[in-house]
Amino acid sequence: MSGDSDPAEVLSREGQIKEIGGGKKASATIYDIAKIAGVNASTVSRALNKPGRVSAKTQKLVEDAVEELNFRANPFARALPTGRTNNLGLIVADITNPSFFDLIRGAGKGSALQDFTLVLAESAESGVAELTAARRMLGTVDGLILASPRMDDKDIRSLARHKHVVVINREVDGVPCVIPDASKGIGQAVRSLAANGHRKLAFVAGPPRSWMSDRRWEGIQAACEWSRLAATRLESTTPTLEGGRKVARAVRESGATAVMTYNDLLAIGLMQELQVAGIEVPDALSIVGFDDIFGADFTTPSLTTIRSPLGECGSLATRLMLDLLDGSQGETCTLHAETELVLRGSSGRLLSA
């Protein structure tokens, strides 16, 4: 497995090495292999993508030639007549947000598996940048996966009119979605807190317009009602470490002994600030985050959190997209992925009053 089968060497067998801009070598075309196999180019094309519609002999001839020239069909030339690019677009709100890493990987693996290429863009959390990126991609891809999109519903639907779109982490009417269902993990977390003697819980919310934040709050309210916990909602400035630190004061004043935050970053920032103030976690206050991001176990104590299976969402979304593309799946399907509680050190029994 190395650079042995260099097409360039073989190409020179024809006595003429094709040069291409930048002094790089061009690659073989179906005509090259047609010549070697002694058949017509259209037969080569058939042998390559409609297996069984050429004679076994011809098939072998073609395959040998393909092997010899190390031929790979030009994706661009192929895209022209078929309209299919074999590219999948993925737009994430923020590449540096660790929540998305697994998602990107999941999508990458899923598409590579089906010989699709992943085209990536990020929107830097801006709705207009997102739309721009999406428009740019429209011409390049067969389908678009939007992870935690920031643009309007109607913009998403407008995109969906041109290409297949799958949305992750948000529900958009009329567009296929993949969303983690927070209720299971939330139920586990709240029950765990209740069992540890907590009676009053605070939820630190995320961005005002975040669809996910509202769903989580709803889930928490329901679970608290069920477990007979009082639940209050606090607003954060930004869903970051900094935002978590800033909300510490409100948390203390709320009188809650358990806190759940919109995401792990908030939880970690909050924990840092509380510890600076001399408040023991989890002895005096339990903290539960959301997402189980990279680094959630770096803290002391390590962070209890509700894991969203973003990696799974990524691969689910690509699979869904692929099904959409070959028509084996309807347009209006919504998939749910389950969340689960990851119990670590930042939550536990209430010790001090």
Partner DNA sequence: TTGTAGGCGTTATCAG
Partner DNA sequence: CTGATAACGCCTACAA
Using CB under 7 A, list all residues that contact DNA.
Answer: 26, 29-31, 39-43, 45-46, 48-50, 53-55, 57-58, 71, 73-74, 77-78, 80-82
Residues 187-246 that bind a copy of itself (CB under 8 A): 241
Least distance (Å) from a copy of itself to the CB of residue 140? 6
For position 79 contacting a copy of itself by CB under 8 A, the verdict is: yes
Query: What minimum distance in Å lies between the beta carbon of 200 and a copy of itself?
Result: 27
**HSE, side-chain direction, 13 A CA sphere, residue 61:** 20
Q: Which of 122, 273, 291, 292 binds a copy of itself (CB under 8 A)?
A: 122
**Residue whose structure tokens are 């358990």:** 258
Distance CA 310, CA 290 (A): 12
Nearest alpha carbon to residue 90 among 172, 198, 166: 166
The residues in 32-71 that bind a copy of itself, with binding defined as CB under 8 A, are none
Distance of alpha carbon 237 from the chain centroid? 25
55 vs 82, beta carbon nearer a copy of itself: 82
Does 281 engage in binding with a copy of itself (CB under 8 A)?
A: no
Residue selected from 60, 67, 75, 349 as contacting a copy of itself according to rule CB under 8 A: 75
Which of DNA, a copy of itself, none binds 7 (CB below 5-8 Å, type-dependent)? Answer: a copy of itself
Q: How many CB atoms lie within 10 A of CB 138?
A: 13
Find which of a copy of itself, DNA, none residue 278 binds, CB within 5 to 8 Å per kind.
none
Q: How many C-beta atoms lie closer than 10 Å to residue 86's C-beta?
A: 16
Nearer to a copy of itself by Cβ, of 316 and 325: the residue is: 325
Cβ burial 319-342 (10 Å sphere, 16+ → b, else e):
bbbbbbbeeebeeeeebebebbbb
Among candidates 98, 175, 165, 104, which has minimal Cα distance to 137? 165
- Compare residues 15 and 51 and give the one whose CB is closer to DNA: 51
Q: CB-hemisphere CA count at 13 Å for 23?
A: 0
Which long-range contacts link 79-86 to residues 24+ away (Cβ below 8 Å)?
84/142, 84/325, 85/140, 85/141, 85/142, 86/115, 86/116, 86/117, 86/142
Pick what 162 binds: a copy of itself, DNA, none; C-beta below 5 to 8 Å, kind-dependent. a copy of itself
For 49-79, letters b (16+ CB in 10 Å) and e give: eeeeebeeebbebbeebbebbebebeeeeee
Q: Is 120 in the site for a copy of itself (CB under 8 A)?
A: yes
57 binds, among DNA, a copy of itself, none (CB under 5 to 8 A by kind): DNA
Residues of span 313-352 touching a copy of itself by CB under 8 A: 324-325, 327
Using the rule CB under 8 A, give the single segment among 35-43, 75-83, 208-216, 345-353 that binds a copy of itself.
75-83
Q: Is 67 helix (H, G, I), strand (E, B) or coil?
A: helix
Q: Per-residue contact track with a copy of itself, 283 to 312, x per CB under 8 A?
A: -----------xx-xxxx------------
209 binds, among a copy of itself, DNA, none (CB under 5 to 8 A by kind): none
